A and B are shown apart, each in its own frame.
Chain A
Amino acid sequence: MTDFDNRIPAGPIEEKWRTWLDDHRLVGPRQRGDHRVLVVGTGLAGSSAAATLAGMGYKVDCFCFQDSARRAHSIAAQGGINATKDYANEGDSVRRLFHDTIEGGDFRAREANVWRLAELSTRIIDQAVAQGVPFNREYGGHLATRSFGGVLVERTFYCRGQTGQQLLLGAYSALQKQVLDGRAQVHTRHEMLDLVLVDGHARGIITRDLVSGEIERWSADAVVLATGGYSNVYYLSTNALGCSVTAIWRARKRGAAMANPCFTQIHPTSIPQTHENQSKLTLMSESLRNDGRIWVPKAEDEERSADEIGEDERSYFLEERYPRYGNLVPRDVASRAAKLVCDEGRGVGPTGRGVYLDFQDAIAERGRAEIDSRYGNLFELYERITGENPWEVPMRIYPAPHYAMGGLWVDYELQTTIPGLFAIGEANFSDHGANRLGASAMMQCLADGYFIVPHSVTNYLSKHAANVETAEPSFERAEGEVNERLGRLVSVGGKTSQSQFHKQLGNLMIDNCGILRNADGLREAIGGLRSMREEFWRDLTIEPGEKGMNQSLEHAGRVADFLEMAELMCNDALDRDESCGSHFREEHQTDGGEAQRDDENWASVSIWEFEGPDSEPKKTAEQLSFEAVELEQRDYA
């Protein structure tokens, strides 16, 4: 029987984390060097966890598929990181950040986790500044803040438009210091292909060296997965091309349950797709919505250019529909509204899938220099990619898959249903409910990595450490299975490349399990996915040879996992018979067209266990209780 105890400490919400810290078991400084921890993934969560665990004295082996730990996709986070410093003197507080995050997530996140996140937010800023992260400053030398979607305060700290890069370099260089000190090792160009359990505990992983093709075994006392999200299931997304579900999916097959897989965020401000062979969508930071105004022509099938369309012929649809938040409504709300106006035929650009993001008013009001200092690099990015100058013509944007709120189920200690296996950052499901607010992802990754998981891993090691050797039969078995699967992939001998399959999968998913979902579409998608999987294993062709560098083999393995994961997402979306946040079932909407929750039946986390390759997954519900906030219909109007 799987253990679904969420281990939330008793007591008032303000004291839960303190209580847990006071009660958790420690490992003495001299004993820590006897324990080894594997950290998979080197983004904000993975690097910060690995650096902290090594700094405490544990031996750490860290893995990433990129050629350097510094390249993990956290590097691309642009806008900022939230913290309740209240430097802007707006009466901001832990409770307000907590409330915004719970409400932004449409009341589908755990209260206790979110409270802890809000509580730790200020320490992240302190830590990053101590590391030399160059956050923007005011003239007096104090830290600058700005506002972000879904909130009415300025609590977002930023380093120009490269906040993720700077925070990641802080964590990465802290990790490199641990490498110098001999306590951590970073294994780059290594992809985790399986998890190894010994006596029911996670004790190791199997990796493939992406240069030599060698399959290697790694044993340890505990394993931390920080492998990010799975938005690439949609093929075109804002994620880096290497982002995949593979690590958490293989862990799921070994017994780690997946929670809320259908909660995926479609970000409103991406550059629209322009051609068929496009490989990714580039995000424009949400911070642009602070000063840019979003509009479409009032008339359908408008053919005139933006400057020829008069003020009274424009529809500023977010400002009209949500006067209080205007262009700064949360991401799910903005994306849905943009999709709907495009579906009405009022979209702009060559494909009709786009809306204008216009800075003319902001430039007139604040001056070009001011706008340049805030968004200069984003304007350059836009011009580089589209060939259009946003100083002269309004930007065009369209929603793009961006972030997975779903992920491995974890308890309050960030431990999955497999003892000794922890999941942090985007790889877990814990803090964002059905929709993530802007500038919260980095906050969660670093809270998990610097301040939570090092303690919960310590707590685990104090009770369950074991000296496991890679000669154990379970390593042998897992390695055998990995080899067998790689062998199957290279020997299908069909005619269709892995990227063609990936594109087909993406089209199916964005149409049926994207911004809008309905029961018929989801049922159809499940059928489509089954035949697509069959086709994949019958007609795939990739570069032969498991040895040496083989990027098509890497990609094919990830596509195979996405094809399975996609079905679970559709099952979850079909099963959750309500709308909430990013999960918008067309059958369930308010009179005003907003997501209609069903708190009576669905104030819960859907947890899906793997029951074998050909069996239906087994669902368990974790009830969510709300004591510190009152459940209410989200209202941004």
Chain B
Amino acid sequence: MNFKLKVWRQSDAAAAGEWRTYGVSEIDSGASFLEMLDILNDRLVVEGERPIAFDYDCREGICGSCALTIDGTPHGPRQVTSCQVFMREFTDGSEIIVEPFRASPFKVLCDLVVDRTPFDRIVEAGGYISVDAGPKPEPNATPISPETQQAAMDAAACIGCGACVAACPNGSAMLFTGAKATHLNVLPQGQPERYDRSRAMVEQMDAEGFGGCTNTGECEAVCPQEISISVIGELYRDYRKSMVHVLRSRRGRMKAQ
């Protein structure tokens, strides 16, 4: 198969960036989108042109590294990660537009590579249950119904790719934040820190410059893990309750008196 690619090129974070067009030919229809870019890059290197930088790692849809906006949609039209897009899904001879995930908190570092460390800082603010390694109680002493476990798992399946942010007209990270918070907030283990967590994560999200949620639902529509927008409602509810809750200082560990 043959394609014309219109690709965003930007040598580093400070550079202006521009569109460049490349032709690729004789691509196997079973090739993935990223393998098609590999082939192009191999050619560019031999021709002495700078190859296109893009993030990838596992190439099986679970690490969350890849982050291409394909024809205007984060990860392309099929609601899978960029690495799971295959060339057989495109019309032979068509033009495909490739650009990075666009959102102001995700700074473009080079070509199609963006900085998603704001997500790490949102998790850092409260996306965990505070336990150090050491002897722990027998798990079956606290039965958890399969329904609760499945609800936690549905939310915990988030791969942190950032497509939700790139798709949102407000650049909101509420689907990501809601997924992490909901995973922990529905479990019995997550109760002691439930409200501190919800408040701290939302505040960090705001501090990173992500927008608020206005229920457009674009995030859910592109999420490769099919995280439901209902996690945002869950987080809102806990965030609201946290307003009548005295927050602990989360920095530092509990000190013996």
Contact = CB atoms under 8 A, between A and B. Distances in A.
B221 interface: no
User: Top 6 closest A-B pairs, CB basis?
Assistant: A141-B143, A173-B128, A55-B132, A126-B136, A129-B139, A275-B28
B63 A73 contact: yes
A179 B124 contact: yes
B229 to A, nearest CB: 20
Interface stretch (A180-188, A423-431, A459-467): A180-188
A140 interface: yes
A309 interface: no
B214 interface: no
Nearest to A165: B62
Contacts of A541: 45-46
B59 A241 contact: yes
A66 B60 contact: no
A242 interface: yes
Contacts of A182: 251-252
Contacts of A55: 132-133
A389 interface: no
A80 B139 CA distance: 17
A188 B117 contact: yes
B84 A384 contact: yes
Nearest to B29: A275
Given A87-B140, A497-B42, A131 B124 contact: no
Candidate in B80, B110, B250 with the most chain A CB atoms within 10 angstroms: B110
Given A132-B183, A137-B146, A277 B124 contact: no
A134 interface: yes
Contacts of B223: none
A173 B123 contact: yes
A362 interface: no
Interface in A73-99: 73, 75-76, 87
Interface stretch (B92-100, B148-156, B205-213, B240-248): B148-156
Contacts of B152: 132, 134
Interface size class of B (residues with CB under 8 A): 35 or more
B237 interface: no
Contacts of A548: 11-12, 110
A177 B124 contact: yes
Contact of B56 (A179, A241, A278, A450): A241
Q: Is the interface of B mostly helix, strand, loop or mixed?
A: loop
Interface of A: 48, 51-52, 55-56, 66-73, 75-76, 87, 123, 125-127, 129-132, 134-143, 159-160, 162, 165-166, 169, 172-174, 176-177, 179-182, 186, 188, 211, 240-242, 274-280, 282-283, 381, 384-385, 387, 450-451, 454, 495-497, 499-500, 541-543, 548-549, 551-552
A222 B33 CA distance: 42
Interface of B: 11-12, 28, 30-32, 34-35, 38-39, 41-42, 45-46, 50-51, 53, 55-65, 80, 84, 86, 88, 109-111, 113, 115-117, 119-120, 123-125, 127-140, 143-146, 149, 152-153, 156-157, 159-160, 183-184, 187, 189-190, 250-253
Contact of B143 (A69, A142, A381): A142
A174 B80 CA distance: 28
A134 to B, nearest CB: 4
Contact of A67 (B12, B117, B146): B117
Nearest to B34: A279
Name which of A166, A274, A277, A500 has the most chain B CB atoms within 10 A of its CB.
Answer: A277
A69 B65 CA distance: 11
23 contacts: A51-B132, A51-B133, A67-B115, A71-B64, A73-B58, A76-B62, A123-B136, A126-B135, A126-B137, A127-B134, A130-B129, A130-B131, A132-B152, A132-B187, A136-B149, A138-B146, A241-B56, A276-B28, A277-B38, A279-B35, A280-B60, A549-B111, A552-B45
Given A131-B131, A275-B28, A543 B51 contact: yes
Given A174-B132, A548-B12, 18 more contacts: A55-B132, A69-B120, A71-B160, A75-B62, A123-B136, A126-B139, A135-B149, A141-B143, A165-B159, A176-B128, A181-B253, A211-B109, A274-B30, A277-B39, A385-B86, A387-B88, A548-B110, A552-B41
B160 A70 contact: yes
A240 B128 contact: no
B57 A242 contact: yes
A46 to B, nearest CB: 14
